[in-house]
């Protein structure tokens, strides 16, 4: 519940700012859950990892990242190689990065220091039961 409140508050602050400032030409933008954010509106720009197929090194179209907005860190997941996606809770757990999203935070991507990314879908199986990863990727920081 606390994570949901923090994410909701972050999006409220973000939406108030983006309603009154249009992105400048040439500035990278993201559309997260219908809210557009320009990179120059963030504290330090976007930090993004591209996830590629672990074996064949082919693009998957999935990107994860975060940005700071007025001191609040906001994570995101982008799909289909586009700049559109969804907001996520971004955390650092020990030495791993982690993104959780979905209506009940049932989806998760982690990146370890060796740049291995794992995707989990906790909506499958019994609640509280250990889950195996459903995707294995290499993470390339952009």
pLDDT at 105: 94
What gap in Å lies between CA 103 and CA 30, rounded to an integer?
20
Task: Report the C-alpha gap between 72 and 44 in whole angstroms.
Answer: 11
Cα 75 versus chain centre, distance: 4
Q: Please tell me the predicted confidence (pLDDT) of residue 129.
A: 82
> Total structural domains in the chain?
1
pLDDT > 70? residue 26 = no
Domain of residue 113, residue span? 2-141
Tell me: the pLDDT tens digits for 70-129? 999 999 999 988 999 999 999 999 999 999 999 999 999 999 999 999 999 999 878 778
- The structure tokens listed for 138 are 């290499």
3-class secondary structure, 46: coil
Please tell me the distance from the alpha carbon of residue 104 to that of residue 9, in angstroms, as a whole number.
17
C-beta of residue 53 within 8 angstroms of C-beta of residue 38: no
User: Mean pLDDT in the chain?
Assistant: 85
Supply the DSSP symbol for 12. H
User: pLDDT tens across 97-108, in order?
Assistant: 999 999 999 999
- For every residue of 65-76, DSSP letters joined together read EEEEETTEEEEE
For residue 130, what pLDDT is reported? 85
pLDDT confidence bin for 21, thresholds 50/70/90? very low
Tokens of 62: 């999935």
pLDDT category of residue 5 using cuts at 50, 70 and 90: very low
Please write the tens of the pLDDT for every residue from 40-64: 999 999 999 999 999 999 999 999 9
């Amino acid at each position: 519940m606390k994570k949901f409140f923090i994410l909701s508050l972050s999006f409220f602050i973000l939406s108030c700012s983006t309603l009154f400032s249009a992105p400048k030409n040439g500035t990278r933008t993201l559309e997260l859950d219908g809210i557009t954010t320009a990179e120059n509106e963030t504290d330090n720009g976007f930090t993004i990892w591209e996830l590629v197929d672990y074996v064949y090194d082919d693009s998957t179209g999935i990107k994860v990242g975060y940005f700071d907005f007025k001191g609040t860190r906001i994570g995101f997941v982008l799909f289909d190689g586009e700049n559109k996606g969804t907001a996520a809770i971004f955390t650092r757990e020990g030495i791993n990065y982690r993104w959780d999203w979905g209506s009940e935070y049932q989806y998760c991507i982690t990146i370890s220091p060796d740049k291995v990314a794992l995707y989990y879908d906790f909506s499958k199986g019994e609640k509280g039961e250990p889950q195996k990863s459903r995707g294995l990727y290499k993470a390339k920081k952009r």
